[in-house]
A = this chain, B = another copy of it.
Amino acid sequence: MDKSMLGDLDGLPEEDKMRMAAMVDQLQIRDSLRMYNSLVERCFTDCVDTFRRKTLDKQEESCVRRCAEKFLKHSMRVGMRFAELNQGVATPD
């Protein structure tokens, strides 16, 4: 999430700016926590399929690590492209 999405706050009194910033912070915290939960859910679902033991075996653990790593890189790349589109940067095909 990008604070610039709030547009022009200059006209607001100091108190309202603080309140707006606090709101953005709260939404970012909520979003980070949800993203954490959805990342866990996805990597668990994709990597863990046997329930003969109650601990992750080596293969499952490394699958989860790669999955999470990959998702984070994916998410970062999507974020860059998304920001470009939001700013109206045009690129050839």
Contact = CB atoms under 8 A, between A and B. Distances in A.
Contacts of A75: none
- What class of interface size applies to chain A in its complex with B? under 10
Nearest to A91: B54
A2 interface: no
A86 interface: no
Mostly, the A contact residues are: loop
A19 interface: no
Nearest to A92: B54
A74 interface: no
Contacts of A54: 91, 93
A53 B91 CA distance: 12
A50 interface: no
Contacts of A45: none
A55 B90 CA distance: 12
Interface of A: 53-55, 91, 93
